[in-house]
Amino acid sequence: MTPLSQLSGRRLYYTINLVAGLAIFFFGYDQGMMGGVNTSPDYVRTMKLGYSTYEGPSEGYVATITEPTRQGGIVSIYYFGTLIGCLMGGVLGDRLGRIRTMFVGSLWVLFGAALQCSAQNIAWMLCARVINGIGTGHLNAVVPVWSAEVSTHTSRGAFIAMEFTLNIFGVVVAYWLEFGLGFIGDGTSQIRWRFPIAFQIIPVLAFMFCLWFMPESPRWLIKAGRPDEAKLILSRLRAGINRSEDDSKARANAEFEDIVEVVALEKKHSNRNTYWSMFWGKGSGNLHIARRVQLNIWLQIVQEWVGIAAITVYAPTIFAEAGYSARKSQWLSGLNDITYMFATLFAVLTIDRWGRRVGLWWGAVGQGIALILAGAFARLLKDNPDKATQYGGAAAFFVFLYTAVFGATWLTIPWVYPTETFPLEVRAKGNAWGVVGWSIGNGWLTLLNPVMFSAIGENTLHIFGAVNFLSIPMVWAFYPETANRTLEEMDLLFASKSPFVWDEEENFRKLKDENPQVEHLRAMELKGEARSAIADLDEGKRDSEK
């Protein structure tokens, strides 16, 4: 059996993908877990969220929530933790490296999980949720960046999309584990909610163990002044992938030189590397860092507003109103999660082939139609209870359709985009800005969804459906295509003074035509400094030859 430290080519490539997938699996499990925890009678009693009633031997004890705001607060405060954690992780990821930062984040997660599964009151649980969220924020900020930096530019999206199949697999495992635990006794035991919380420790421990055998990002190593290690790892990563050994070496060397040149230039502008400078674009010149920050924050916020949070909340209600028993509604919700997981495999096949923009477009159309029709049939279901089977079945179908389309498009692309669009010098911090948007969108809607459904019912789905159609011109006008472009070409892509895609693409072609050898350097208003950087590199090479 080949030791992990000696793996190369596809074996190393897929091993890294699997290890990163462990962290993403935990992320999905951690999100899906609270759905079952919130319905556990003992948890509801311990946190003083409501009461439970016995519904017979087939249903057991069923919890009734009388304090929805308190319940929503416990769930949403987790996203406050992820917001803090992603900002911390972004700083550590650029300073300490990707591997060490992921290990630190895992320690936070272990501590938070231990506190959560032993919580005795709401104050304890709130503190534990924040700590757990801080660890998750670390991992969310760095794991996708690590994945993007070791992958090739033609398979970067698929590489991360495969990890999100494991993410939704985590949701599925959480759901069915908690479903099964509901049959223990009469459903009132503590194990029904404490064990699922503790279970998340297992994939995190496996992830931490594997990290010690994983290679650091070659791009970060070059930035950290360790080019020999970077070159060795890059050659191992690119060995024999769809080409001969000599061709693989030549391509790895060319990629290495390209990264070195970009790093040399970016280090001359380290004053733009704080979160404050990034947000306002101070000192970034034609790199337009602030534009990239805003694009990624809003893409993640819109990801939540296209309706996934609403479907997660409202799907069980639709199934119940369709005439299905509580147990059958739970079965349908579980099958919906499985559909969600398999749909992500479609993203693996299309995200690089069709590109990010096409995926967001067709996803928005499919999701918008599904949400509007799900809301319409849910309304008909309420108005015509005698036709619950027909209208309820139609509403359930569009819930499944929405989930499948989202899994194939909007689930993965907003997570891939931030890993691609920032310069190496601030890539972890840049991805952290994307996680900030995700935390804001999630936390906001976790509190807002119950209020919206209480006030306007199924019309909430129509609002989210409309947001899908509004996202289409937003993507068309402001989000340039990043698929099949190297990470080093992104400076060139965002060099245009205009934020509109058509101007950025025209400027990109113009700069490539000027000088393809130093195209990423000419993307900035710093040609004199770029020439100086190249001269420094040439001088360094001559010294090493001597």
Angle of helix 289-303 relative to helix 459-478, nearest 10 degrees, comes to 160
Task: Reduce the DSSP state of residue 500 to 3 states and report it.
Answer: coil
Q: Looking at the structure, do residues 374 and 464 belong to the same domain, yes or no? A: yes
The candidate with the shortest Cα–Cα distance to 112, out of 145, 71, 84, 70, is 84
Q: Looking at the structure, do residues 339 and 428 belong to the same domain, yes or no? A: yes
Q: What is the 3-state secondary structure (H, E, C) of 24-50?
A: HHHHHHHHHHHHHHCCCHHHHHHCCCE
Which of 448, 465, 481 is the endpoint of a domain? 481
The candidate with the shortest Cα–Cα distance to 479, out of 441, 507, 505, is 505
Q: Looking at the structure, do residues 299 and 196 belong to the same domain, yes or no? A: no
Assess if residue 232 is contained within a domain. Answer: no
Q: Looking at the structure, do residues 48 and 103 belong to the same domain, yes or no? A: yes
Q: Looking at the structure, do residues 511 and 474 belong to the same domain, yes or no? A: no
Which of 453, 481, 509 is the endpoint of a domain? 481
The candidate with the shortest Cα–Cα distance to 357, out of 286, 414, 311, 434, is 414
Assess if residue 538 is contained within a domain. Answer: yes
User: Encoding tokens for residue 169?
Assistant: 């697999």
Q: Looking at the structure, do residues 166 and 72 belong to the same domain, yes or no? A: yes
Residues 491 and 480: beta-carbon distance below 8 Å: no
Assess if residue 251 is contained within a domain. Answer: no
Which DSSP symbol is given to 216? P
Assess if residue 432 is contained within a domain. Answer: yes
- Within 10 angstroms of residue 207's Cβ, the number of other Cβ atoms is 25
Q: Looking at the structure, do residues 454 and 494 belong to the same domain, yes or no? A: no
Residues 272 and 278: beta-carbon distance below 8 Å: yes
Q: Tell me the CA distances in angstroms from 158 to 154, 167, 170, 408, 416, one per residue in order.
A: 9, 14, 19, 11, 9
Non-local CB neighbours of 344 within 8 Å, separated by 6+ positions: 161, 164, 165, 167, 168, 407, 408, 411, 412
Q: Would you write out the chain's pLDDT as a tens digit for each of its 546 residues?
A: 345 556 777 788 889 989 999 999 998 998 888 888 888 899 999 999 888 887 777 667 778 888 877 888 888 899 899 999 999 999 999 899 999 999 999 999 999 999 999 999 999 999 999 999 999 999 999 999 998 888 877 778 888 888 888 989 999 999 899 888 888 877 788 999 999 999 999 999 999 999 999 999 998 999 888 999 999 988 888 876 655 666 777 778 888 888 888 777 766 666 667 898 899 888 778 889 999 999 999 999 999 899 887 887 677 777 777 767 777 778 888 898 899 999 999 999 999 999 999 999 999 999 999 999 999 998 898 888 888 778 888 988 999 999 999 999 999 999 999 999 998 888 889 999 999 998 898 888 877 887 788 788 889 999 999 999 999 999 999 999 999 888 888 988 999 999 999 999 999 998 887 755 444 443 443 343 444 444 444 444 455 454
Please tell me the total count of domains within the chain: 3
Q: Tell me the CA distances in angstroms from 61 to 45, 135, 315, one per residue in order.
A: 12, 34, 21
Against a cut of 0.95, is the pTM above it?
no
Q: Looking at the structure, do residues 377 and 510 belong to the same domain, yes or no? A: no
Q: Looking at the structure, do residues 49 and 167 belong to the same domain, yes or no? A: yes
**Burial status of residue 367 (CB atoms within 10 A of its CB: 0-12, 13-18, 19 or more):** buried
Q: Looking at the structure, do residues 318 and 440 belong to the same domain, yes or no? A: yes
Q: What is the 3-state secondary structure (H, E, C) of 325-379?
A: CHHHHHHHHHHHHHHHHHHHHHHHHHCCCCCHHHHHHHHHHHHHHHHHHHHHHHH
The candidate with the shortest Cα–Cα distance to 411, out of 170, 174, 161, 171, is 161
Which of 481, 504, 519 is the endpoint of a domain? 481
Assess if residue 1 is contained within a domain. Answer: no
Assess if residue 212 is contained within a domain. Answer: yes
Assess if residue 6 is contained within a domain. Answer: no
Residues 489 and 462: beta-carbon distance below 8 Å: no
- Within 10 angstroms of residue 54's Cβ, the number of other Cβ atoms is 13
**Burial status of residue 135 (CB atoms within 10 A of its CB: 0-12, 13-18, 19 or more):** buried
Q: Looking at the structure, do residues 316 and 170 belong to the same domain, yes or no? A: no
Domain that holds residue 321: 287-481
CA torsion, points 163, 165, 167, 170, in degrees to nearest 10? -130
Q: Looking at the structure, do residues 62 and 80 belong to the same domain, yes or no? A: yes
Length of the chain equals 546
Give the CATH number, domain containing residue 312: 1.20.1250.20
Assess if residue 203 is contained within a domain. Answer: yes
Q: Tell me the CA distances in angstroms from 23 to 7, 20, 213, 435, one per residue in order.
A: 21, 5, 15, 15
